[in-house]
Amino acid sequence: MRNRRHKRALVEQGCAHGILVYANGEPVGWCQYGPREELPRIDNKRAYQGLAPQGPEKLWRITCFAVLKPYRKRGVASAALRAALEAIRRRGGGLVEAYPITRWLARAFGNESTHGTESMFVKAGFQRVGPFGSTRYSSHVLMRKTV
């Protein structure tokens, strides 16, 4: 509930960032991105300790994707990623982090990855930094790219 209130306040202040992807005039995909200050929960993750960047460069995060089922595996998330990177570039750029999934049980996630896939980020020029935690159902990695 606290996260919803925080996100709502960001939206009302014009400080929330997201990309919508449309097909035939209808939204079919979404990508959440934003500066570190807007998406701070990652800083508290145990897996992030020791991996946090130390330089003065602005830090951006790409944290979540959603694609309507009929449009999955059709490049919608990749289009959203490209648009998010361009939006970050227009805002001065910096270091961009992502936390894609590397393994998941389809039955646990309905055959979808809400964090994107490692291969999608590799194709966009991201480099793997290290593991970023795992559960019984999934594993994630930390990836970065300077824009």
**Fold category of 17-146 in CATH:** Aminopeptidase (3.40.630)
pTM of the predicted protein model? 0.85
Residue 103 has pLDDT above 90, yes or no: no
* Torsion (CA) 116, 121, 123, 126 in degrees, nearest 10: 180
Domain ranges of the chain: 17-146
Contact 10, 38 (CB under 8 A): yes
In 3D, which of 3, 76, 4, 103 has the Cα closest to residue 44? 3
The Cα 36–Cα 29 span in angstroms is 23
Contact 124, 82 (CB under 8 A): yes
* DSSP 8-state assignment for residue 117: B
pLDDT digits (tens, 9 = 90+) for 26-82: 999 999 999 999 889 899 988 898 888 988 889 999 999 999 999 999 999 999 999
Enclosing H/E stretch for 84:
helix 76-90
